[in-house]
Amino acid sequence: MQASLIHPSAHIDPKAQLGSNVRVGPGAVIEAGAVIGNDTEIRAHAVISGNTHIGSGNQIGYGAIIGAEPQDLGYKGAATRVVIGDNNVFREYTTVHRGTKEGTETVIGNNNFLMTGAHVAHNCRVGNHVIIVNNVLLAGYVEVQDRAFLGGGSVIHQFCRIGELAIMRGLTRVSKDVPPYFMAVDTNIVSGINRIGLKRAGYSPEARRAVVNAYKAIHRSNLNLTQALAKLEETETTPEVRKIIDFIRSSRRGICAADVHDTSDDE
């Protein structure tokens, strides 16, 4: 077991738990109740607040604050926490806040990359292999599914969901859900699908074509949403289309509308 490397100016509460080969930089603070996994780096002036559980192989950037109390006027000191998986990167000044109601938590999975100034509010759930670019703001209870890409300065309203492999262009604002594989732009608008992301993720041409057809049925046909979903259930059987259907059917906030002027997915 390799010893941890702790800078003399770092403050680590005796009740914090550190694994092996943890590096802690100058001026960093790790509070009581924090659990830090093996091979994790806490860079200078980062703060890990109490009851934060961080897995192995993570990098916590300069000045990042992980596990602070939620920005919620209803929060009255309830016992809540942040749970983070393995091999994530949190760049400079990212903030991740713990849950707001008693016993709840904010959860971030594995292999995610959160860039400078990104904010993850209370009770959010971020999946795996997600990229969150500079200054993206996730409000409370937002869900971001695996391999989504959130462009710089994007803003996601509370309780919204961003589907698997969805992409948001920079400065996009949404207060509705973005279905899997779709591309969000502007304010509550989708404009085609994440073709490049699907291709890079290894989806076959047939699977990509099925996603395009599903997008067209939902947003470019004469059918209303209920009719479009029913038609897709009859005619499309791929797992990708099934995922889109299930996501939309489980939406509580509704889904983003289509850009009526966009023809990028015409064939």
User: How confident is the model over 80-110, as pLDDT tens digits?
Assistant: 999 999 999 999 999 999 999 999 999 999 9
pLDDT score at 3:
74
pLDDT score at 32:
98
Number of domains in the chain: 2
pLDDT score at 1:
60
Closest to 191 in 3D by CA, of 212, 162, 163, 205: 212
- Residue 265 in any domain: the answer is no
**Among the three residues 144, 166, 185, which one is the final residue of a domain in this structure?**
144
- Residue 178 in any domain: the answer is no
Same domain, yes or no: 207 and 88: no
pLDDT score at 261:
73
Same domain, yes or no: 136 and 211: no
pLDDT score at 37:
98
Tokens at residue 171, please? 């400065």
- Residue 102 in any domain: the answer is yes
pLDDT score at 266:
57
**What is the rounded CA–CA span in Å between residue 133 and residue 110?**
16
pLDDT score at 207:
97
Same domain, yes or no: 12 and 138: yes
Neighbouring CB atoms inside 10 A of 264's CB total 10
Closest to 108 in 3D by CA, of 173, 116, 78, 122: 122
Same domain, yes or no: 11 and 133: yes
Domain that holds residue 206: 198-258
Stretches where the chain sits below pLDDT 70 are 1, 263-267
pLDDT score at 265:
60
